[in-house]
Amino acid sequence: MDHTAQTPDDLLQSALATDAARPLVTFYDDATGERVELSVATFDNWVAKTANLLQDELSAEPGDRLALLLPVHWQTAVWLAASWRVGLVVAPGGDPAASDLVITGPDTLEEARACPGERVALALRPLGGRFPQPPRGFMDYAAEVSGQGDRFTPYSPVTADDPALLLGGQELTGAQVVERARGEAAKLGLERGSRVLTGLPMDSWEGLSAGLLAALAADASVVLCRNLDRLDADALERRREQERITRTA
């Protein structure tokens, strides 16, 4: 476990330095049959592109509040990491009307329209596909992100004391997020090489921790499952075996 990281992005940088080629995020959608696997390096590339989109196209600045209205998904993990790299305060399931930016899936478009600032929509289609018709009033993430740079340099450095997460009315700094992630990793018994399977929504600490943060803190990896309730017990057990799961959240 990395004990030197001070911000959530530091945890990802540590994973890159340790073994960039290993799997970090594996995603299943049991409604469509989709499976995606991202190495640490590939995940980081998506994070860099998304951070550039935030900073250069959406004019996001450190301290801006971002309402994240997305289900458990690999792109949700990317948006979390990219937002923290820019220095934004992420509010998973937060109020769009009280936010500077909103990131939404197709099921929460109407709710997201309350945001007075920038609005980005994700189709959440297999292979990161675009909307057939972009939602009116929203940027289509899939149509814009591919053209962004593979390297990201923040205009303003992000520090451990900067606010990073707004959850349940409580604001946490980057340092507090990292500290809680380490504690959760220890609580789950995670170590280097552990594999966590989760279908928990990523709008709670339990979902965020199991779906990304605790794994990063322990140099472990995650298997994110959307529509997991469609699997019966036998199919779920086969997935645990196939994915070499060591912990289920």
Supply the pLDDT for residue 134: 87
Rounded CA gap, 159 and 175, in Å? 9
Task: Measure the CA angle with vertex 68, ends 19 and 186; round to 5°.
Answer: 45
For the segment 112-138, the average pLDDT, to the nearest whole number, is 94
Query: Residue 135, Cβ neighbours under 10 Å: how many?
Result: 18
Rounded CA gap, 115 and 98, in Å? 7
pLDDT tier at 226 (50, 70, 90 boundaries)? Answer: very high
Supply the pLDDT for residue 89: 98
Supply the pLDDT for residue 5: 87
pLDDT tens per residue, range 35-87: 999 999 999 999 999 999 999 999 999 999 999 999 999 999 999 999 999 99
DSSP-derived pairing of the beta strands 65-69 and 101-104 = parallel
pLDDT tens per residue, range 141-200: 999 999 999 999 999 999 999 999 999 899 999 999 999 999 999 999 999 999 999 999
**pLDDT for residue 1 is more than 70:** no
Element (H, E) at 69: strand 65-69
Rounded CA gap, 185 and 3, in Å? 12
For the segment 21-33, the average pLDDT, to the nearest whole number, is 96
Q: Which string of DSSP letters, residue by residue, matches 212-226?
A: IIHHHHHT-EEEEEE
Distances (CA, A) of 136 to 25, 109, 156: 31, 10, 32
For the segment 197-213, the average pLDDT, to the nearest whole number, is 96
C-beta of residue 97 within 8 angstroms of C-beta of residue 115: yes
The H helix count followed by the E strand count for the chain is 9, 12
Domain locations in the chain?
8-248
Of 227, 195, 181, 199, give the one whose Cα is nearest residue 84.
181
Tokens 């994973």, residue?
15
Structure tokens at 163: 């606010």
C-beta of residue 223 within 8 angstroms of C-beta of residue 28: yes
**pLDDT for residue 127 is more than 90:** no
pLDDT tier at 2 (50, 70, 90 boundaries)? Answer: low
Rounded CA gap, 121 and 194, in Å? 32
Structure tokens at 4: 């030197």
C-beta of residue 216 within 8 angstroms of C-beta of residue 15: yes
Yes or no: domain 8-248 corresponds to CATH 3.30.460.10: no
How high is the mean pLDDT of the chain?
A: 96
pLDDT tier at 4 (50, 70, 90 boundaries)? Answer: confident
Structure tokens at 167: 């959850």
DSSP 8-state secondary structure symbol assigned to residue 163: E
